[in-house]
Structure 1
């Protein structure tokens, strides 16, 4: 991967096919670290496009995928901001075929899904949902509150690549995420340096603690050092640090969930919560990828955020590495898909 200071190739905006949205600064850092090549900034943007971009490419099985990484304005997050960022990106990069919403999320552990910190959740169509449901948008009826929001299904090219990855992971018993992250640490050593606080590395099983839903965080520290260990849920030991990949429905909304009882009440067979994807409902054909950084309970802290951002970004890279360039080329532009949905 070329470094930021070297002479960078300049491509036309029309040559970019993948739109990667990263809301938080550490999500953007993780995304940038995944690029095999960094490109020069765009020569021009639409007059109403206020996004900040990093351009580059990721190697695929038969060619490079040119990627646009867009960030949300600092301190302004949520569904509406994400929708605006996507619309502005398409105004400047009209050839984008689909989007990847990549970042962190809060896990919803259950008996059916042994979700741990650092694991990755990927939106996958199931039943009535296209992979994402908006839990805070709906209508009141005689039967109570009914949700109305659901993200459209990801484009077929991504679903095909997901299926390929799933089968490969089951055959091999592992993913490429550890190797991808190791290459990142070699290229950008500061990302693995924990002297200035939690880095983009695994934070240790001793710092991954899941408590009973009715047990509230104790003490004045963000860590759980003062919490009652008898209230901790005992889970099977994993043999290594490699993150698991979970496929299913992601719950999206504008609220930060910090209460385990509320988490479980809203869960409805979802795997994690996040705060941006629902803004792209009926707007932008995309896949949502979230690294798990907490359990949406009162014990929530930011220790795992950078590592979770890194594992999500590494999965996104592995997905693109498995995606055929000709399949992307044959995929309709996102703008045309959006226009057809509005008819």
Structure 2
């Protein structure tokens, strides 16, 4: 969780607060010394807890404003460009200021403490912070978007290069490494994004982690980025593919006919949400974003222009280098554009999380064609185009709930 402290001094009070926070396991603490610096911090980042002195200057070096803290809080309430903290704790050593601000804090459900001698409230402060942090720890895990990748190298690396001011996020009793960041949506609202990679490739890991993500982080959108095999003559190297629908190509019955094994497919398809399908199809047709994404890549890249394709993508349990198996999969859906190993798990977990669950979107780019010529030459470029396109969608296209 993130904490912002606003106080013009680093005295015994702030040292005590910082020590208590550290003992409670809170490490992401920022201390600023003026209203101006607090506004700057709240413009860039989202904080779970704001702790402030009521007597603070407008700018560092100015005279102390006896009503500076309350003025800052009023600015936070009125300015839509500022990220409102989840909760607020005020501390003052001035009895008059405490009395005049008590009703202001109480009306908003915030806490105001009187620290007349700088040490008397230590035990009370410890109790309050411990209670608030226990509540906020769950709240701070919530996010607007969760991005999953299969691979830590290449795929997650491409996501962590997105300009989201990433910081590490360690969850107790979880082996995965998580990162959280922020971005501005199309309405100028700061949004929280969390990302991780799977412990292993495949649908089982993708479904398990996605189900945990849906229950723990309650994102509005669950997005998977990364690399996949494309179908020749349908897509080109580096092209961006949107799964619509996804299914497990190995689902069915293996029987014997005329003495030979025969596979009878019986896939269950998970569709892309209708509004996302319409949006992605519109973007693909208009070729939005792809030219700039292509131009921004300064390393080796294909000579053909980048494109977006919306279509069926099959998931399976094996890495394919067999054109015959690819043809078998294409027979299950003649419009198939790609094959990979995780999309069905991600989309299934989101689908079965219920009406309150996230909308799932799988954005994978072509790095090979699942044939004997398969190699790693285009993985970095494909991971880049996938992550960059997903980010453009997040910034400029997706509709988020207000708040």
Question: What TM-score, normalized by structure 2, do the two folds share?
Answer: 0.56
Q: Could you tell me which residue of structure 2 aligns to residue 294 of structure 1? A: 368
Moved more, 10-19 or 101-110: 10-19
Please list the CA deviations of residues 219-262 of structure 1 after superposition, one character each: whole Å capped at 9, or x if unmatched.
xxxxxxxxxxxxxxxxxxxxxx4311111000101111102222
Q: Could you tell me which residue of structure 1 aligns to residue 401 of structure 2? A: 329
Q: Could you tell me which residue of structure 2 aligns to residue 280 of structure 1? A: 346
Q: Could you tell me which residue of structure 2 aligns to residue 101 of structure 1? A: 224
Is structure 2 residue 253 aligned with structure 1 residue 133? no
Whether contact under 8 Å (2:284, 2:310) holds in the other structure is no
Is structure 2 residue 207 aligned with structure 1 residue 83? yes
Q: Give 5+ residue unaligned stretches, structure 1.
A: 1-6, 125-130, 170-174, 186-191, 193-200, 206-240, 331-343
Secondary structure of 2:400's match? helix
Whether contact under 8 Å (1:19, 1:67) holds in the other structure is yes
Q: Could you tell me which residue of structure 2 aligns to residue 243 of structure 1? A: 306
Name the larger-Rg structure.
2
Q: Which of 287, 301, 311 lines up with 1:203 in the alignment?
A: 301
More helix per residue: 1 or 2? Answer: 2
Is structure 2 residue 240 aligned with structure 1 residue 120? yes
Secondary structure of 1:132's match? strand
CA deviation after TM superposition for structure 1 residue 59, in Å: 3.0
Is structure 2 residue 115 aligned with structure 1 residue 49? no
Q: Which of 154, 158, 168 lines up with 1:26 in the alignment?
A: 154
CA deviation after TM superposition for structure 1 residue 106, in Å: 0.6
Moved more, 254-263 or 156-165: 156-165
CA deviation after TM superposition for structure 1 residue 51, in Å: 2.1
Gap change, CA 1:249 and 1:317, over 3 Å in 2: same
Whether contact under 8 Å (2:294, 2:306) holds in the other structure is no
Whether contact under 8 Å (1:293, 1:304) holds in the other structure is yes
Gap change, CA 1:26 and 1:242, over 3 Å in 2: same
Q: Structure 2 CA distance, aligned partners of 1:203 and 1:328?
A: 34
Question: What TM-score, normalized by structure 1, do the two folds share?
Answer: 0.65
Is structure 2 residue 143 aligned with structure 1 residue 16? yes
CA deviation after TM superposition for structure 1 residue 66, in Å: 2.1
Q: Structure 1 CA distance, aligned partners of 2:307 and 2:225?
A: 16
Whether contact under 8 Å (1:134, 1:148) holds in the other structure is no
Instruction: Count residues with an aligned counterpart.
Output: 253
Q: Could you tell me which residue of structure 1 aligns to residue 19 of structure 2? A: none
Please list the CA deviations of residues 283-341 of structure 1 after superposition, one character each: whole Å capped at 9, or x if unmatched.
114111111011110001000000011111122112223334xx3217xxxxxxxxxxx
Whether contact under 8 Å (2:145, 2:222) holds in the other structure is yes
Q: Give 5+ residue unaligned stretches, structure 2.
A: 1-29, 31-43, 49-139, 351-358
| Larger RCO (CA under 8 A, 6+ residues apart) | 1
Gap change, CA 1:164 and 1:320, over 3 Å in 2: farther
Whether contact under 8 Å (1:117, 1:304) holds in the other structure is yes
Q: Structure 2 CA distance, aligned partners of 1:158 and 1:58?
A: 20
Moved more, 140-149 or 271-280: 140-149
Q: Structure 2 CA distance, aligned partners of 1:279 and 1:158?
A: 18
Gap change, CA 1:322 and 1:259, over 3 Å in 2: same
Q: Structure 1 CA distance, aligned partners of 2:320 and 2:393?
A: 29
Please list the CA deviations of residues 123-158 of structure 1 after superposition, one character each: whole Å capped at 9, or x if unmatched.
12xxxxxx1121012235899644344353334553
User: How does 1:198-277 map onto structure 2 within 5 Å?
Assistant: 201-205=299-303, 241-268=304-331, 269=334, 270-277=336-343
